Amino acid sequence: MTKIQPEETEFHLAILQALPQPVLVCGEDFGIVFANYAAEAFFQASMSILTRQKLSDFIAFDSPILGLIGSVLARQAPMIEYRVQIGTSRISEDRIADAYASPIPERPGHVALIFQERTMADKIDRQMVSRGAARSVTGLASMLAHEIKNPLSGIRGASQLLEQSATGDDRALARLIRDETDRIVDLVDRMEVFGDERPVERVPVNIHVVLERVKLLAANGVAKGVTFSEEYDPSLPPVLGDRDQLIQVFLNLIKNAAEALERTSKPEIRITTAFRPGIRISLAGVSQRISLPLEIVIEDNGSGVPSDILPFLFDPFVTTKLSGSGLGLALVAKIVGDHGGVIDCESRPGRTRFRILLPVARGRVAAPDDIEDTPHDVPVTDSVN
């Protein structure tokens, strides 16, 4: 057997530390004997702290991971546990990951664990489905625009004539016909947006300028009385996008959050930005993988999204509001998709997070003055949660 030289050991350790997946090695009684840098970040603890603990101190006692380690040691064969929920006292939210476990023949009683977090893969999969659902209403929108708006104009005109000559209850009924006709026309107008297949003219945009504009509009309108807090990454590069459409996206999300805060005693909306390298997706018809390192999060402390609706949140016509059309978040998903990005939502009572990932622009950053002429009547559609 060839003896491993010290420099080779350092090289092998460097490979483990370079892996983006969390790697742990557990010994007897689930004691942690090694953790790479990704594991330190995943469990939010340094290696010196982790190696003084047992794995059972960081995950729930009934976690299938502990049973997985026992099975691997008993069978002396690698095993995989898919979609394991991992929640610890240090991790503020539950995470879903695939856990790969393998015995270490050179170290009897030791098991190597690799975690592959499923969150981003699932987010992107759901986003692609939602994007397809948004496109599925394109034909319907075009049909409604051409086949329904014309007769609606005639109905509205007739109701106006009737209202002028009618008296009492008849006038009220004529006014009702006119108002309901206007409501249907408004719905059709909003659906027409889905039929717009023109390419987005994108330029480098400072996302923080966009967010500050949206916050100013919302604080004096749809989110008046709500406390705002921000945590911006000042080194964030520009976004490649259309500034007016980006304003519409974030104004819709903040309106959505504000409506979820109506019965919250201390309503708060938190906006954060960060650079997340390493997130790439593959799209049909594109030879290169697209990088989405720019993360923008809109978070509120409202009542949350019902769990039965959450998987379909960005599908058209999905809403919990009696007067909602269910097109607001579908439109947001379409605009984000047109910008080459993805959006998803995590929600539980007291905490709802909409996260958007966007590509980086290569070029000039839009100056703050570039956006000062943005109109104050950016359209805002209905929300869900």
Where are the chain's structural domains?
21-117, 130-194, 199-371
Burial class (CB within 10 angstroms; exposed 0-12, middle 13-18, buried 19+) of 141: buried
pLDDT for residue 352: 92
- Cross-strand partners of 268: 227
pLDDT for residue 200: 65
Q: Which residues contact 10 (CB under 8 A, 6 or more apart)?
A: none
CATH number of 199-371: 3.30.565.10
Residue 343 phi, psi (nearest 5): -140, 145
pLDDT for residue 206: 93
Q: pTM for the whole thing?
A: 0.56
pLDDT for residue 133: 52
The answer as to CATH 3.30.450.20 being correct for domain 21-117 is: yes
pLDDT for residue 190: 62
pLDDT for residue 3: 40
Q: Which residues contact 54 (CB under 8 A, 6 or more apart)?
A: 29, 30, 31, 32
Regions of the chain where pLDDT drops below 50: 1-5, 284-286, 363-385
- Cross-strand partners of 290: 281
pLDDT for residue 374: 38
